[in-house]
Amino acid sequence: MTSPTTTAPARAGRPAVATATRTTGPSTSGRRRLAPWGFLAPAIVLFVLFLALPIAYAVYLSFRTEKVSGLGLGAGARTEVWAGLSNYASALGDPEFLASVGRVALYGLIVVPTMLGLALVFALLLDARRSRATTFSRTAIFLPYAVPAVISSLLWGFLYLPGVSPFYDVFDALGWDVPSLFEGDLVMFAVANIAVWGGTGFNMIVIYTALKAIPSELYEAAELDGASQVAVATRIKVPIVLPSIIMTSVFSMIATLQVFAEPTTLRPLSNAISTTWTPLMKVYRDAFTRGDLYSAAATSVIIAVATFVLSFGFLRLVQSRAFGQEK
């Protein structure tokens, strides 16, 4: 299988991977031929043990189910049997699952553009000559990356509470009606905000590093011609760092499909977040609350395949659009 992560830079006509794969010429000794396997051995052994085997086992479980006999009490009342595709059929036919997929799609449409848009704006401003306080801002915006999602959701969860939130004081002072973030559809924004908060800084650093690598001669000419900073940013800098933006989009999309920690932490605070609010929350509920590993495994396989198809499809799409002319 071709992984999206390798195709992007390669297809983008960048020599990054090409450099990495440059050969060292024909090897002369047998030891040399075995050497790469020696270097790879620890990674491969660990990968097989802790990723490949568990994945294979999860796939196996997705085709199994448990049958109970009689009252199901005491030893031996449960047996595992083949289930065929029935776990997949019931997952795909489950309205709760489909609703959670729709919710995550909407959530992704909010989070990914907002987070990357902010990251891009901040990165461009950090790189702009006329900005001040850049070291402080860069550090402050990157700081949330150091806060685990469980803890950041907890902090925001408190800040959303009417009794704690400073915004409610402001709203009150203005005499506005206070919308509760924990009721109705607003909860989507409550969750999205935590993700944007946690992820913007990291993506900003990725784009900023790419910006810093642009040789300044590339836009000094334009500046001498009187182009504004905004024009330099949008016409020259953004197109050059587009590959970085695309890769951060792909990884943000993958992370979005796997959103779990934020809504799970907020769930006890709100009536608006169900136990199946996102696909992974349904996996968790099935596996841990209901003890049905088999349905959970089938849903997981569906999520992994969908992630693969989506990220790969996205890369194909942007490559044909953005880099078509480079060939």
Partner 1 sequence: MRLSTGTRIAALAAATALVASACSGGGDGDTGDGAEAAGPVELTFWTWAPNMEKVVDLWNADHPDVQVTVNKQDGGDPAVTKLLTAIKAGSGAPDIMQAEYQKIPQLVSADALADISGTLGDDVAGHFADGVWNAVTLGSDAVYAVPQDSGPMQFYYRADVFADLGIDVPTTWDEYAAAAATIHEKDPEMYLGTFSANDAGWFTGLTQQAGASWYGIDGDAWVVDVDSDATRKVAEYWGGLVEDGVIDNKPMYTPEWNAALNDGTQVGWLSAIWAPGVLAGNAADTAGSWEMAPMPQWDANAPATGTWGGSATGVTSQSEHPEQAAEFITWLNTDPAAVQALVDESGIYPADVPASTEALSDPPEFFSNQPDFYEVAAQTAGTVQPFTYGPNINVAFSAYNDEFAKATKAKKATAFVDAVEAMQRITLDDLKSSGFNVSE
Partner 2 sequence: MTMLSSPSAGPVPGGSAAVPDGEGSVSRGRSGRRSAGERPSAVATGILLLGALYCLLPVVWVVVASTKSGSELFSTFTFAPSTHLLDNVADLDAYRDGLFWRWMANTALYAGVGALLSTLVSAMAGYGLAKYTFAGKNTVFNLLLAGVLVPAIVLAIPQYLLLAELELTNTYWSVLLPSIVSPYGIYLARIYAGASVPDEIVEAARTDGAGESRTFFQVAVPMMVPGLVTVFLFQFVAIWNNFMLPYIMLGDDRLFPITVGLSGLLNQGASQPALYTLVITGALLSIIPLVALFLTLQRFWRVDLAAGAVKS
DSSP-assigned letters across all residues of 154-219: HHHHHHTSTTT-HHHHHHHHHTPPPPPTTSGGGHHHHHHHHHHHHHHHHHHHHHHHHHHTS-THHH
What is the distance of C-alpha 306 from the center of its chain?
13
Of residues 52-71, which lie at the interface with partner 2 (CB under 8 A)?
Answer: 52-55, 57-58, 61
Note whether 164 binds partner 2 by CB under 8 A: yes
CA angle 28, 31, 35 (to 5 degrees): 110
Note whether 189 binds partner 2 by CB under 8 A: no
Sole residue written with tokens 């609010």: 277
Note whether 289 binds partner 2 by CB under 8 A: no
Closest approach, Cβ 138 to partner 2, in A, equals 8
- Nearer Cβ to partner 2 (129/321): 129
Helices (H), 225-292: 229-231, 238-257, 261-266, 279-284
Give the C-alpha separation, 274 to 150, whole Å.
18
Sole residue written with tokens 């199994």: 64
Candidates 24-32, 68-76, 94-102, 171-179; binding stretch for partner 2 (CB under 8 A): 24-32
Give the C-alpha separation, 281 to 259, whole Å.
8
Note whether 287 binds partner 2 by CB under 8 A: yes
Q: In b/e form, how buried is each residue of 81-90, taking b as 16+ CB within 10 angstroms? A: eebeeebbee
Note whether 57 binds partner 1 by CB under 8 A: yes
Closest approach, Cβ 77 to partner 2, in A, equals 20
Closest approach, Cβ 115 to partner 2, in A, equals 8
Q: How many chain residues interact with partner 2 (CB under 8 A)?
A: 138
- Nearer Cβ to partner 1 (70/324): 70
Closest approach, Cβ 298 to partner 1, in A, equals 14
Of residues 242-261, which lie at the interface with partner 1 (CB under 8 A)?
Answer: none
Note whether 110 binds partner 2 by CB under 8 A: no
**C-alpha dihedral (116, 122, 126, 130), degrees to nearest 10:** 130
User: From the list partner 1, partner 2, none, which binds 23 (C-beta under 5 to 8 Å, kind-based)?
Assistant: partner 2
Q: Under the rule (CB under 8 A), what is the footprint of partner 1?
A: 42, 45-46, 48-49, 53, 57, 66-78, 96, 157-158, 161-164, 182-184, 268-276, 285, 288-291, 293
